[in-house]
């Protein structure tokens, strides 16, 4: 009797961006379990913080799908934010699938690939806004949305087992200033056809009302800047081209010339102009030209709104930018939100600017100078009324966001809700939606340009040293195993006070190391590894007694 054919399945598998905000990496699979074909939707990064010393960029781990790379039909990028496109240049050599994106995203992506010497290797298909194309069993259509970057797209994924609407990042902006408004008709048509599942942004699910329009920000910036007498700096995300455009036009409306400060600001402006955006503005000045203008005739658009240590605004706050100086009588507008986790560096940055006499304007005291790029509850309700999905799959949010989104979808009468974590494989069809498997879904760290696993030795040791300090022990022995010099002990990052100076503590640790050496018997004194281990244990134990810490201890034995 012939074996029956295994049935086709439609699955969704997030490997990044679910249970977190950022690092979006989503897979859709179609076919029988043993022979699925896949598409990747977005391949982004997130950024390091105080818990990842020395690591600025973090990538999703592609190990699972790398094992099936020959079955990846395409990588579709919804828009050009770093948390959606930033990992392509890093991970494409492990996936080697064709890439699909719209014109603006193509320009940003090509620059990233050029930096990695991959530009001639990666096949990129530029898809027009609203374009439709087919890869294998997936019939894909771009849906024009509004967000905080040019050309944001939702993705309609039609398959023989049903249609998925993957929203990407979005909001409903009735007057986005640059680019088209949300294509409500296209979403309604999808709803009429029947949407099996909507995989949807959850960032602002706890916020009532609507996110607000970029047009409102422009209206707020013009009169605000009119009140300012000295130099004006505006800090915003470089990717928010509309915000850059609004700040520039607000400056020009007040008789100021625009200077872009920061490489990403300059790069984004060039990309925007290449696709016909930001037209009608005077040519931007470079920072060397702008420093010769009167204070009330210049406006600086700066990178670094999140307190990034190497960004333009950080250098300005430190007073070491070669051309841009801000001080008493000058103003800085933070036209951006505080990304969770960045509170401390932003506060430090703002304190440094304030200490220089710069007056600060933030969304806390001037709410009109920033609006979110993500949907609030009224917009989510609107999207659900247009698409009418059978299954709600919240994504792009921490755990609390996803669960609240699922509860909200239930209130809106969506029949099913499911909230996968990264690595949870969800079968969307046939049958009810359910998690059917769990696959590895870790992180990779970019450490000094090298990709390392999140649990790698180097970062673990660095974290340990950052919190506990480092102690170095050296010992010189003669050929008979007698001490010639030392033990000498040096500490880095260890506490000290007037009653117990660090020099005294090091002497005490040296005594502990010497006593440990003398406890060694016979042949053990001939084994350098044995000596090093014994001395390290003794110094760690003594450090624990003295400071309540167990530092990294490096012991070196030299024989003469």
Q: What is the 3-state secondary structure (H, E, C) of 468-497?
A: HCEEEEEEEECCCCCEEEEEEEEEECCCCE
The domain spanning residue 322 has which CATH number? Answer: 3.40.50.10710
Residues 31/37, Cβ–Cβ less than 8 Å: yes
Question: In which domain, by residue range, is 552 found?
Answer: 469-559
* Mean pLDDT over each residue of the chain, to the nearest integer: 93
Within a domain: 109: yes
State which H helix or E strand residue 193 sits in: helix 184-193
Number of structural domains the chain divides into: 3
The domain spanning residue 550 has which CATH number? Answer: 3.10.20.580
**The pLDDT of residue 320:** 93
Which two three-digit tokens encode residue 132?
């439709």
Which two three-digit tokens encode residue 560?
């003469």
The domain spanning residue 441 has which CATH number? Answer: 3.60.15.10
Q: Which ranges of 365-422 does DSSP label H, i.e. alpha helix?
A: 377-387, 399-411
Which two three-digit tokens encode residue 258?
């625009």
Q: With the C-alpha atoms ordered 409, 410, 412, 418, is the resulting torsion angle positive or negative?
A: positive
**The pLDDT of residue 201:** 97
Give 14's Cβ-side CA count (13 Å radius): 26
**The pLDDT of residue 296:** 96
State which H helix or E strand residue 359 sits in: strand 359-361
DSSP 181: P
**The pLDDT of residue 373:** 95
C-alpha span between 507 and 539 (Å, rounded): 11
pLDDT tens sequence across 245-266: 999 999 999 999 999 999 999 9
C-alpha span between 324 and 518 (Å, rounded): 62
Which two three-digit tokens encode residue 452?
């390392």
- Please give the C-alpha separations between residue 432 and each of 98, 289, 435, in angstroms, as whole numbers: 32, 63, 10
Q: Are residues 183 and 238 in the same domain?
A: no
Residues 140/156, Cβ–Cβ less than 8 Å: yes
Q: Are residues 429 and 445 in the same domain?
A: yes
- Asked which of 453, 478, 512 is the last residue of a domain, the reply is 453
Within 10 A of 522 (CB to CB), how many other CB atoms are there?
7
Residues 59/71, Cβ–Cβ less than 8 Å: no
Q: What is the DSSP string of 25-74?
A: EEEEEEE-TTS-EEEEEEE--EE--TTSTTEEEEEE--HHHHTTGGGEEE
C-alpha span between 325 and 531 (Å, rounded): 56
Q: Would you write out the chain's pLDDT as a tens digit for each of its 560 residues? A: 445 589 999 999 999 999 999 899 999 999 999 999 999 999 999 988 777 777 889 999 999 999 999 999 999 999 999 999 999 999 999 999 999 999 999 999 999 999 999 999 999 999 999 999 999 999 999 999 999 999 999 999 999 999 999 999 999 999 999 999 999 999 999 999 999 999 999 999 999 999 999 999 999 999 999 999 999 999 999 999 999 999 999 999 999 999 999 999 999 999 999 999 999 999 999 999 999 999 999 999 999 999 988 899 999 999 999 999 999 999 999 999 888 778 899 999 999 999 999 999 999 999 899 999 999 999 999 999 999 999 999 999 999 999 999 999 999 999 999 999 999 999 999 999 999 999 999 999 988 788 888 877 777 788 878 888 899 999 898 877 788 887 888 888 888 877 788 888 888 899 888 888 888 877 777 788 888 888 998 999 998 888 888 888 889 888 88
**The pLDDT of residue 348:** 95
C-alpha span between 360 and 231 (Å, rounded): 12
**The pLDDT of residue 4:** 59
Within a domain: 462: no
Q: Are residues 243 and 334 in the same domain?
A: yes
DSSP 19: S
Q: Are residues 283 and 402 in the same domain?
A: no
């Amino acid at each position: 009797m012939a074996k029956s054919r295994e049935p086709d399945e439609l699955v969704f598998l997030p490997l990044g961006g679910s249970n977190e905000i950022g690092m979006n990496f989503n897979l859709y699979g179609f076919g029988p379990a043993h022979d699925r074909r896949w598409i990747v939707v977005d391949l982004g990064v997130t950024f390091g913080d105080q818990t990842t010393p020395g690591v600025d960029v973090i990538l999703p781990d592609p190990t699972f799908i790398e094992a099936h790379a020959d079955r990846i039909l395409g990588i579709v990028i919804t828009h050009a934010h770093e948390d959606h496109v930033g990992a392509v240049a890093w991970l494409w050599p492990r996936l080697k699938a064709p890439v699909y994106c719209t014109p603006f995203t193509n320009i940003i992506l090509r620059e990233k690939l050029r930096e990695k010497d991959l530009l001639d290797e990666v096949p990129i298909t530029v898809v027009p806004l609203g374009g439709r194309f087919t890869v294998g069993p997936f019939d894909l259509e771009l849906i024009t949305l509004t967000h905080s970057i040019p050309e944001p797209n939702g993705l309609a994924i039609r398959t023989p087992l049903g249609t998925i609407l993957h929203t990407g990042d979005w909001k409903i902006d009735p007057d986005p200033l640059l680019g088209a408004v949300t294509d409500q008709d296209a979403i309604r048509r999808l709803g009429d056809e029947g949407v099996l599942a909507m995989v949807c942004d959850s960032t602002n699910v706890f916020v009532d009302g609507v996110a607000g329009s970029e047009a409102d920000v422009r209206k707020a910036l013009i009169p605000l800047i009119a009140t300012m007498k000295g130099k004006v700096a505006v800090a915003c995300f470089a990717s928010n081209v509309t915000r850059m455009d609004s700040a520039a036009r607000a400056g020009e409306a007040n008789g100021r010339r625009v200077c872009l400060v920061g490489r990403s600001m300059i790069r984004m402006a060039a990309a925007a102009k290449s696709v016909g955006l930001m037209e009608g503005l005077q040519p931007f000045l470079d920072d060397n030209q702008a420093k010769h203008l009167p204070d009330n005739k210049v406006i600086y658009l700066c990178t670094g709104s999140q307190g990034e240590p190497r960004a333009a605004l950080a250098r300005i706050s430190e007073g070491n930018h070669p051309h841009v100086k801000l001080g008493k009588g000058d103003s800085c507008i933070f036209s951006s939100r505080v990304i969770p986790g960045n509170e401390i560096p932003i506060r430090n940055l703002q304190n440094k600017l304030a200490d220089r006499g710069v007056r600060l304007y933030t969304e806390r005291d001037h709410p009109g100078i920033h609006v979110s790029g993500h949907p609030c509850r009224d917009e989510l309700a609107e999207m659900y009324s247009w698409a009418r999905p059978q299954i709600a799959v919240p994504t792009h949010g921490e755990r609390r966001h996803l669960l609240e989104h699922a509860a909200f979808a239930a209130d809106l009468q969506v029949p099913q809700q499911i909230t996968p974590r990264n690595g949870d494989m969800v079968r969307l069809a046939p049958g009810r939606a359910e998690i059917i498997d769990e696959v590895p879904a870790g992180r990779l760290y970019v450490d000094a340009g090298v990709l390392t696993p999140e649990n790698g030795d180097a970062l673990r040791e660095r974290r340990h040293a950052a919190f506990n300090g480092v102690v170095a022990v050296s010992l010189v022995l003669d050929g008979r195993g007698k001490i010639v010099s030392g033990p000498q002990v040096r500490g880095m990052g260890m506490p000290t006070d007037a009653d117990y100076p660090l020099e005294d503590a090091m002497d005490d640790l040296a005594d502990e190391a010497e006593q440990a050496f003398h406890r060694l018997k016979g042949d053990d004194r001939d084994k350098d590894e044995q000596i090093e281990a014994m001395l390290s244990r003794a110094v760690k134990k003594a450090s624990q007694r003295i400071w309540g810490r167990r530092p990294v201890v490096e012991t070196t034995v030299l024989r003469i």
